Amino acid sequence: MFDSTAPVAPVVPRHGRLRPLGLSEVRITGGFWGERQDVNGAATLTHIESRLESEGWLPNFDLAAAGALPEGRRGREFADSEVYKYLEALAWEIGRTDAAAADPLEQRFRAVVSRIAAAQESDGYLNTRFGRPGQGDRWSDLEWGHELYCLGHLFQAAVARHRTRPDADDGLVGIARRAADLVCREFGADGRDAICGHAEVEVGLAELGRALDEQRYIDQAALFVERHGRGSLREIEWGQEYFQDDVPVRDAEALRGHAVRANYLASGATDVAVERDDAALLDALRGQWERTVERRTYVTGGQGSHHQDEAFGDDWELPPDRAYSETCAGIGSVMFSWRLLLATGETAHADLIERTLFNVVATSPAPDGKAFYYANTLHQRVPGVPADPEGTSPRASSSLRAPWFEVSCCPPNVARTFASLAAYVATADDEGVQLHQYAPAQVRTSLPDGRAVAFDVATGYPVDGTIRITIVEDAEFVLTLRVPSWASDAVLRVTTEEGLSEKSVLPGTAAVERAFRVGDVVELVLPLVARVSAPHPMIDAVRGCVVVERGPEVWALESVDFGADVAEAVVAGDPVEVEGRVALPLRRRSSGEVAEVPLVPYHDWAQRGPSTMRVWVPTV
């Protein structure tokens, strides 16, 4: 039965260290992330739907329903998945804004679902690329066909709809259920002993099983996870590690191969480990996360240093100018880290989520929400060329943001992340509430014993380092705040009718346990000052360089500010700040001239036209 008290969130484990607080319990009310949510809802979703129509990816479903395929089908073999991610984004946006039945968002959602429903076959099969006369047979190209991958995104869209509008009669949940039943029949223990070349069905099935209380979906997800690593997919030029089919998940030491595939598989495997109380699998995944973060993750949180296969490199292989750092890999990293955070409560996972959100996910979309980065380089050597606003770009064109891509997984992935972002802000346990990400917000929830917890968060983060929590309902509970790993001089203040108390707190967590009264204030003051960070000495590509960070943000040098190609720049002093803006004394190699040059937050780079850019700046 549907649990009406379950969080309205993308990930709702049936048990674990922490319970996520969903969109009905946390509302972002402004600030850095609130602005991005507003742009996402007002502009990005419309932009995506327009492109899905003009590129033919939505009309593919109409052709399928009319029996007209394969003639006229457009887009890659995975084009269906972009429609499903768009639907998921719409569902979360409907939940976030509490859109009514007559709202245009709701009407758009239902119109798309009706087109998908018409294309589904009687046994539950749903794909516009395979299975009809003139097309490849069903499941005939598991390496590259993406049939199961597409269905995984369908399942996640259905979960979003089920949790935001559990009584909706549009039929999306039924569509997903019929497709999931087919997958279980076709690939169950007595069916095809096979996996998809692009992990995603695992995480989709696991969450659909949770949402609909269907254990067999979770069991099927577990089957897929355990089948990885046996070499069942065909060998390709990049090796079977590209598919994570070279080593069983339990035996892997780090994420490897295609970075999006790796993170999606790890996310699904974490879901399986949690649902099955599989401590050994969970420990293996925690170890993979730790090594990947230490040795295979960029300072921005980006992952993937190979362009040719969109993949992780070896340990310490992190060249800034060849950083692929795909936006979708960043989102996959957030998915994986969030699941581990819920399972373990360890703040390191929230630290990486913060770093990745600010420096990968927020970097992708343009301020107007209608152009995106697919890949996120850390060093632009040659000024780019503005993208055609009506055109479709190659996926890895990273010099300037583009409105759409031939492989356009990133725009709808960004959209669904922003629309559901409030569900990644806070959690609860038996004793209280934990804040993991900082944004102006309202938090209203109840603990398992019925205690109501209600407070407001006010902050100018990440420009300002003060996070102010004001209690709006009397309650006794533990309020726990994450202290980021970079915040070595943080201060915690508690103001009540008895007066003010203040203490220094170390990175990790800061907890306040008391019988709170309306008007009590808890303030966490984080030291937001520019700092210089050196790379790990094992990273050859940036040895002798430094990066400037301020709070969770990485800062970048652009030629538009330097007045010359950034290849001329050498660090000549410590960073300075004026009203939250950062400048760095730099010397020009050719002239020896030294000047304080403004830097920009990395997520804002390339917003003033073509430029060269670097994050890591040489010291000699």
Q: State what percent of residues in the chain have pLDDT above 70.
A: 99
Dmax (CA) for the chain in angstroms is 78
> Which of 439, 433, 466, 469 shows the shortest CA–CA distance to 451?
433
pLDDT band at 1 (very low <50, low <70, confident <90, very high): very low
| Cβ neighbours of 587 (radius 10 Å) | 16
pLDDT band at 396 (very low <50, low <70, confident <90, very high): low
Q: What is the mean pLDDT of residues 196-204?
A: 98
> Which of 75, 169, 71 shows the shortest CA–CA distance to 114?
169
pLDDT at 580 over 90: no
pLDDT at 14 over 80: yes
| Location of each CATH 1.50.10 domain in the chain | 19-424
**Does the domain at residues 19-424 carry the CATH identifier 1.50.10?**
yes
pLDDT band at 397 (very low <50, low <70, confident <90, very high): low
pLDDT at 2 over 70: no
pLDDT at 4 over 60: no
Digit-coded pLDDT (tens) for 458-467: 999 999 999 9
The CATH number, out of the four listed (4.10.860, 1.25.40, 2.60.40, 3.90.550), of the domain defined by the range 426-461+466-525 = 2.60.40
pLDDT at 427 over 90: yes
- Give the helix/strand (H/E) hosting 340: helix 327-344
- Torsion region of 549: left, alpha or beta (phi above 0 gives left; psi -120 to 50 gives alpha): beta
Supply the pLDDT for residue 384: 85
The owner of tokens 């009407």 is 107
| Cβ neighbours of 209 (radius 10 Å) | 25
Digit-coded pLDDT (tens) for 54-111: 999 999 999 999 999 999 999 999 999 999 999 999 999 999 999 998 899 999 999 9
Dihedral of alpha carbons 483, 489, 490, 493, sign:
positive
What is d(CA 440, CA 466) in angstroms, rounded to the nearest whole number?
11
pLDDT band at 440 (very low <50, low <70, confident <90, very high): very high
Q: What is the pLDDT of the chain when averaged over all its residues?
A: 96
What is d(CA 566, CA 616) in angstroms, rounded to the nearest whole number?
10
pLDDT band at 567 (very low <50, low <70, confident <90, very high): very high
One-letter identity of residue 343: A
The owner of tokens 């700040």 is 577
Digit-coded pLDDT (tens) for 321-358: 999 999 999 999 999 999 999 999 999 999 999 999 99
Burial class of residue 217 (count of CB atoms within 10 Å of its CB; 0-12, 13-18, 19+)? buried
Query: 104: number of CA atoms within 13 Å, CB side?
Result: 5
Supply the pLDDT for residue 454: 98
What is d(CA 282, CA 271) in angstroms, rounded to the nearest whole number?
9
List, as one string, the DSSP characters of 152-167: HHHHHHHHHHHHH-TT
Q: pTM higher than 0.75, yes or no?
A: yes
Question: Cβ(607)–Cβ(367) under 8 Å?
Answer: yes
Q: Could you give the strand order of the β-sheet that contains 19-20, starting from the edge strand earlier in sequence?
A: 19-20, 426-428, 432-435, 475-483, 508-516
pLDDT at 398 over 70: no
Q: DSSP class of residue 387? A: P
What is d(CA 10, CA 255) in angstroms, rounded to the nearest whole number?
23
Digit-coded pLDDT (tens) for 505-560: 999 999 999 999 999 999 999 999 999 999 999 999 999 999 999 999 999 999 99
| Location of each CATH 2.60.40 domain in the chain | 426-461+466-525
Supply the pLDDT for residue 457: 98
What is d(CA 23, CA 492) in angstroms, rounded to the nearest whole number?
27
Report whether the peptide linkage leading into residue 70 is cis, meaning its omega lies within 30 degrees of zero. yes
pLDDT at 150 over 80: yes
Strand locations in 288-420, DSSP E?
Answer: 379-380
SS (H, E, C) 196-254: CCCCCHHHHHHHHHHHHCCHHHHHHHHHHHHHCCCCCCCCCCCCHHHHCCCCCHHHCCC
What is d(CA 407, CA 244) in angstroms, rounded to the nearest whole number?
21
pLDDT at 174 over 50: yes
Supply the pLDDT for residue 393: 87
Q: DSSP alpha helices (H): ranges in 234-304?
A: 259-275, 279-295
Digit-coded pLDDT (tens) for 280-318: 999 999 999 999 999 999 999 999 999 999 999 999 999
The owner of tokens 């503005």 is 386
> Which of 363, 348, 353 shows the shortest CA–CA distance to 425?
353
pLDDT at 5 over 80: no
> Which of 548, 487, 491, 484 shows the shortest CA–CA distance to 522?
491
> Strands 475-483 and 432-435, how do they pair?
parallel
Supply the pLDDT for residue 394: 80
What is d(CA 245, CA 133) in angstroms, rounded to the nearest whole number?
31
Question: Cβ(119)–Cβ(61) under 8 Å?
Answer: yes
Supply the pLDDT for residue 579: 81
pLDDT at 605 over 50: yes
